[in-house]
Amino acid sequence: MLQRLLGTALDRLGAGAYAVDADGGIIAVNAQAEVLLGRGADELLGRDAHDCLHRQQDGMTMPRSQCPMLEAFMADQVRQEEKGFFARGDGSLLTASWLVAPLRITSDERGALVVFHEYSQAGVPLPVSTLRAGLLSELERLALLAETTTRLTATLDVGEALDRLVQLIVPMLADWVVIDLLTESGQVQRTLVAHGDDQGITRRHDLQGALLSVPETSPLPLSRALRGAGSTLATPQTYQGPPDSDVAVEQRRLFEATGMHSALIAPVRGLREVLGALTLGRSEQSEPFTTAEIPLLEDITRRAGLALDNARLYQRQRKVAETMQRHLLPQLPRVPGLDMTARYLPAPHASQVGGDWYDVFHLPDRALALVIGDVAGHDLDAAAGMAQVRNILRAYAWSRQEPLSAIVERFDQALPHITDVGMATMILGRLQAGADGRWELRWTNAGHPPPLLVTHDGRARYLNGGHGILLGAHAGIPRADATGVLPPLSTLVLYTDGLIESPRHPIDDGLERLRLHAARLAGHPLDAFTDALMEARPTDNDDDVAILTVRVPAADADPAYS
C-alpha cells in the first residue's frame, strides 16, 4: 500500500524520481524515471539503488566511498548535483541533474528521495526550495496517513489506539498531543496529554481528568470542536479573556503548563456522533501551525474517529458479554463446615465469555454436587452451549438416583438431541460427610483433566480414577465411578485445561507444575491459594480458565451432612 501511495505522489513531480529505504533499497519509482532509465519498476524495486544506478562518467560503478549521493543519504542531508550519471537498462549512460533529500517513510523509518531530469547545457538544477516546500511533504503526508490507518485499525483497545496515535504524531507534527473524549453521559474527559521529544514520549497525568460538560454556546476553539464544528488554530492569547466555561479554564491551564505557543484543534467524529477532540501543540518547534496543516489534521482525525468508534463498540460488546458470563456462572452455596471459592478468567482475545464453567448445588439427599466442565470454544456460541449443558446436567443429577457414571451417560446420549453442543469435557462429583465426620467424594470424569487433592501438610496428588471418554464421542465405552476420602483440612482443586496447557510444553509438564505449585501453597487461606494458582497459569495459552476449590474442615468439626 505504501509503495502505491509513494508511486502516486512521485508521478506528480514532473521529473524522474525514486525513493529508497534506510538500507538504500528502492521502494518506489515513478513513470518518468522508468522512461529516463529504460527500466521497468519490476526491475528496479528491491534493488540497491547505488549498485544498480550510480555510475562514474566512464560507465564504471561508482565507489561507495566516493558517491556524493550516498554521502548525503547517510548524513540525512539535502544535496544536489548539476551533472551526474545513471545506468540505463540497455547499458548506456543517462547524464542527469539530480537532487537527494531525506524522506520520512513512516514515523519510525527514514529513507531518501532522489529526483532527477536529463542534463541540459543550460545546467538548470532542481530547486531545493520547491522540493522541500511541497513535494516531500506530500510524500510524508501520504506515508503518515497510510501508517495511521494501518496502526489504528490493528487494535480494538481504546487506550492502545490513543497511544499509537501519539507515537505517529510526535515529534513529526507536534510537540504535544491532547485528546479529549466525550463519555456516554456527555461529560468531557481529558483522556491524554502527552509530550514528545528525542528522548521519547511522556504523559502528563497532572493535566488529565474530567472537564465537566460541553459548553453549548461557547465560541472558543475546543468547545466548538467538541460540538462538531470545524478545525481551528489557537494560541495562548485565545484563552486569555474571561473564561466562559470550565473548559476554557482548563485550556488556559493547559497552555500555561505546556508552554505551547501554537495549537491546532479538530473534532474527532465517529460514524454517528462526535467522540471528542484532538489538539496538536508546539512548544519546542518554533514554527507556528498554519491553516495549510488543517487538512492533514482532519485526515488523521477521520481515521482516529473510525478506530475509536470500532474500539468503543467492541468494548461495549465485551461489557455485555462479561455481564452475561457473570449471570451464567452460579453463586456458590453456603455449606456449613466447607470452605469454597471459584474463579473464572475469560480468554484474553475472545469475547469475554467462553465454554468453561463450574457449578455447585445441593442434591435431594443433601449431598453436594460439584461440577467442572469445558464446552469446546471460547466465544458466545460456547457460552450459550455451556448454559444449556449446565442446566440440563442439573436436572439429570437432581432427578436420577443412580451412579454418577450412569447420569453422565444418559446426559451424553441426550446432548445431540436437545443442544447444539458438539464436544465437551466435565467432571461430576458428589461430596458428602459421613457420621464419623469424614468427607467422601464420588466422581466420574468425562475426558477432563483429573482433580487435584492437596493435603494440609503439603502433599498433592491427582485423582485419576473414574476416567472416561469426553462427551460427544459416543464410542459405546462404559463410564466408570471412583470414590475417595478427603483428609481433614485438605483442598480439592477442580480446574479447566487453560490452567495447565501451553503450546510450548507437553500437557504432563503443566500438570506437574500445577501439582508442585499447589503443594507449596497448601497452608494458605483458600482465596489466596486459588488466586495464586490462577496467577501461575501459562501466559501463552489463549483459552479461558475456570477453577473450583473446596477445603474440608478439621477432623473434630461437626459434619454438615449425614
User: pLDDT grade, residue 181 (50/70/90)?
Assistant: very high
Q: In 3D, which of 374, 357, 341 has the Cα closest to residue 532?
A: 341
User: pLDDT grade, residue 167 (50/70/90)?
Assistant: confident
Read off the pLDDT of residues 514-560 as tens digits, 9 standing for 90 and up: 999 999 999 999 999 999 999 988 877 777 889 999 999 987 655 44
C-alpha cell at 227: 460540538
pLDDT of residue 128: 42
Q: Minimum mean pLDDT among 297-306, 363-372, 480-489: which range? A: 297-306
Q: Which range has the top average pLDDT, 173-177, 350-354, 460-464?
A: 460-464
pLDDT value at 250 more than 70? yes
pLDDT of residue 43: 92
211 vs 366 pLDDT, higher one: 366
| Residues 515 and 460 sit within 8 Å (Cβ to Cβ) | yes
pLDDT value at 260 more than 70? yes
Average pLDDT score over residue span 19-25: 90
pLDDT of residue 516: 96
pLDDT of residue 562: 40
| Residues 325 and 358 sit within 8 Å (Cβ to Cβ) | no
pLDDT value at 337 more than 80? yes
The beta strand positions in 257-311, using DSSP E, are 262-269, 274-282
Average pLDDT score over residue span 78-91: 88
324 vs 237 pLDDT, higher one: 237
CATH number of the domain at 329-551, please? 3.60.40.10
Where helices occur in 364-473 by DSSP H, the ranges are 380-399, 404-418
- Spatial distance between the Cα atoms of 279 and 348, rounded to a whole number of angstroms: 33
pLDDT of residue 417: 86
pLDDT value at 333 more than 60? yes
pLDDT of residue 355: 77
Cα Dmax for the chain = 112
Determine the distance from the C-alpha atom of residue 523 to the mean position of all C-alpha atoms in its chain, rounded to a whole number.
38
Calculate the average pLDDT of the chain: 85
pLDDT of residue 106: 66
Read off the pLDDT of residues 347-359 as tens digits, 9 standing for 90 and up: 765 545 667 889 9
Is CATH 3.30.450.40 the classification given to domain 153-318? yes
pLDDT of residue 81: 84
Average pLDDT score over residue span 191-219: 87
510 vs 158 pLDDT, higher one: 510
Read off the pLDDT of residues 471-524 as tens digits, 9 standing for 90 and up: 988 777 899 999 999 999 999 999 999 999 988 889 999 999 999 999 999 999
| Residues 263 and 282 sit within 8 Å (Cβ to Cβ) | yes
pLDDT of residue 196: 86
pLDDT of residue 540: 78
pLDDT of residue 99: 83
Q: Minimum mean pLDDT among 28-42, 369-383, 384-398: which range? A: 369-383
> Is-same-fold flag (2-139; 329-551)?
no
pLDDT of residue 476: 77
pLDDT of residue 127: 43
Q: Helices H, strands E: what count in the chain?
A: 15, 24
User: pLDDT grade, residue 387 (50/70/90)?
Assistant: confident
205 vs 152 pLDDT, higher one: 205
User: pLDDT grade, residue 439 (50/70/90)?
Assistant: very high
Q: Minimum mean pLDDT among 91-100, 446-455, 528-537: which range? A: 91-100
Specify the 3-state DSSP secondary structure of 175.
Answer: coil
346 vs 298 pLDDT, higher one: 298
pLDDT of residue 307: 87
- H/E element, 521: none
pLDDT of residue 130: 40
Average pLDDT score over residue span 2-31: 75
Q: Minimum mean pLDDT among 126-135, 215-224, 317-326, 467-476: which range? A: 126-135
pLDDT of residue 126: 47
Backbone angles phi, psi at 151, to 5 degrees: -70, -40
Q: What are the domain boundaries of the chain? A: 2-139, 153-318, 329-551
pLDDT of residue 131: 43
Q: Is the peptide bond before 416 cis (omega within 30 degrees of 0)?
A: no
| Percent with pLDDT over 70 in the chain | 86
| Residues 122 and 20 sit within 8 Å (Cβ to Cβ) | no
Per CATH, the homologous superfamily of domain 2-139 is PAS domain (3.30.450.20)
pLDDT of residue 534: 93
User: pLDDT grade, residue 46 (50/70/90)?
Assistant: very high
> Residue 265 is which amino acid?
I
pLDDT value at 123 more than 70? no
User: pLDDT grade, residue 55 (50/70/90)?
Assistant: very high
User: pLDDT grade, residue 129 (50/70/90)?
Assistant: very low
pLDDT of residue 2: 52
